[in-house]
Structure 1
């Protein structure tokens, strides 16, 4: 798989029926290794190892309803009170992150109300903090590290 703009992590792989799978430590199962999954797994490790978010507050690939349509978010990090701290939208490294990507995560956030948004294709990462009062987001250089006080 392609080298991404994340630290190097060790992953567990298995091969069956000519398909490679990667172990997802959050879902506790092997999942087919697609380019977007490669980005998602790196991002999960980054959030735990570099940013310090506890595994227990991370959720991966769950369904939500947006405007009556079934959608799936990539990664959500909860606050300890159950509210949502961060939504992450992962794209394949071959996908250019553009306004459509931000529109997609903004739509998800209409339902989820996260304080922070992250969009990544594994090569480029974008971070935003929500300004709910003015109904917009402000770009950041990075997302904050985990802190029990801010949770």
Structure 2
């Protein structure tokens, strides 16, 4: 897999029937290593190792319903109160992040109502703070660190 714009992390890998698998510490299982999964695993480690979010507050690849359609979010970080603090959309490194990507995460967030959004393809990272009152988001330089 190609290098990403994240710190280097040690991951566990294994081969299974001509597939390379990577261990997901959140789901506690090996998953097929695809380009988007490579980005997702780096994002989870970034949130835990650099930003201090506890593993117990992070959820990966769960289904949600958006306007009656079944969708899956990539990563969600909960606050200590159980509210969704951060919604993350991960894309493959070869996918450029554009307005469609932000529209996708914004649609998901209409239901989830996360305070912060992160969109990444592993090469570029964008962070936003939601302003629900004015129905817009403000770009940030980084996602805030975890605070108890």
Residues 43-101 of structure 1 show CA distances to partners (whole Å, capped at 9, x for unaligned) of 00000000000000000000000000000000000011110000000000000000000
Give the match for residue 23 of structure 1.
23
Give the match for residue 64 of structure 1.
64
Q: Please, which runs of 5 or more residues in structure 2 have no aligned partner?
A: none
Detail structure 1 runs of 4+ shifted over 4 Å in the superposition.
none
Give the match for residue 34 of structure 2.
34
How far apart are 1:123 and its partner, in Å?
0.2
- TM-score, scaled to structure 2: 0.99
Q: Please, which runs of 5 or more residues in structure 1 have no aligned partner?
A: none
- Inter-partner Cα distance in structure 2 for 1:143 and 1:16: 35
Q: How many aligned positions are there? A: 148
SS at match of 1:65: strand
- Inter-partner Cα distance in structure 2 for 1:48 and 1:25: 11
- Inter-partner Cα distance in structure 1 for 2:67 and 2:13: 37
SS at match of 1:88: strand
